[in-house]
Amino acid sequence: MTITLGLVDSGAGDRHKDALSAARRFDQEGALPVAPDTLGHGTAICDILRHHAPQLRLYNAQVFDARGVTTAAVVAAAIDWLVAQKVDMINLSLGLTKDRDILRRACERAVAANIILIAASPAQGQAVYPSSYEGIIRATGDARCDVSDISFLDSTQADFGGCPRPIRAPGGQPPRGGGASLGTAHISGRAAAYLQGGGAKSTLRDWLVSQAKYVHSERRTK
């Protein structure tokens, strides 16, 4: 079963061209042709996603500028484009500190379209967006987790934790960032593999809970 995933990030490097179905860059001027992933963050996210779900089809929604900065309006435009592409999932390994109506409404439209949204949330500190919106799976990095592990945190900060470390691709450079953003990608990758294997969107959250090696902050289950 082919699963399509929208990548809202800094882009996807050349080694992921074979998995790309469509690509678009978003900034204050609107939708533009994609640029190289100079940050390397989105490429590292793709490494993780495809490690777990090798047959995944990617839709590259490039939202970060060369400094790694974006806005709620730009992320919202990317989400709306991915909704129009009818993707199955959207990975948002990012978090904005302000709650903006334009971003909230875009996420609501995606959830209403039965798209799985998995977004990064810090392990500590203030809430970020879009992970704090209703209907979104909140993920973070959990240092206890290896590449294939999941933790069910069920906390004020996050629903699930994943490995906070990258997958080092052949010839790949270490990515900028880590922690919550990479943990989110590991959770999205595991989720994509579940759907790819015939799992239902309606049972995805329960399946993730069932796969948890760690529950809450201390207890190990497997």
What is the biggest distance separating any 2 CA atoms in the chain, rounded to whole angstroms? Answer: 50
Which residue's entry shows tokens 């967006």?
A: 129
**pLDDT of 60 higher than 80:** yes
Three-state helix/strand/coil letters over the chain: CCCEEEEEECCCCHHHHHHEEEEEEEECCEEECCCCCCCCHHHHHHHHHHHHCCCCEEEEEECCCCCCCCCHHHHHHHHHHHHHCCCCEEEECCCECCCCHHHHHHHHHHHHCCCEEEEECCCCCCCCECCCCCCCEEEEECCCCCCCCEEECCCCCCCEEECCCCCCCCCCCCCCCCCHHHHHHHHHHHHHHHHHCCCCHHHHHHHHHHCCCEECCCEECC
Q: What is the pLDDT of residue 28?
A: 79
| Residue 176 pLDDT grade (very low, low, confident, very high; cuts 50, 70, 90) | low
- Identify the bridge partners of residue 129 per DSSP, sorted by sequence position: 96
Q: Alpha-carbon distance 176 to 178, whole Å?
A: 7
Separation of CA 7 from chain center: 7
Give yes or no for a contact between 207 and 200, defined as CB atoms under 8 angstroms apart: no
Q: What is the pLDDT of residues 92-109, one digit of tens each?
A: 999 999 999 999 999 999
Q: What is the pLDDT of residue 30?
A: 72
CATH of the domain at 16: 3.40.50.200
The mean predicted confidence, pLDDT, of the chain is: 93
Question: The domain containing residue 167 runs over which residues?
Answer: 4-220
Q: What is the pLDDT of residue 1?
A: 86
Q: What is the pLDDT of residue 29?
A: 74
Q: What is the pLDDT of residues 114-169, one digit of tens each?
A: 999 999 999 888 899 999 999 999 999 999 999 999 999 999 999 999 999 999 75
**pLDDT of 171 higher than 70:** no
Q: What is the mean pLDDT of residues 188-206?
A: 98
Percent of the chain predicted with pLDDT > 90: 83
| Residue 32 pLDDT grade (very low, low, confident, very high; cuts 50, 70, 90) | confident
Q: Alpha-carbon distance 3 to 188, whole Å?
A: 12
How many domains are contained in the chain? 1
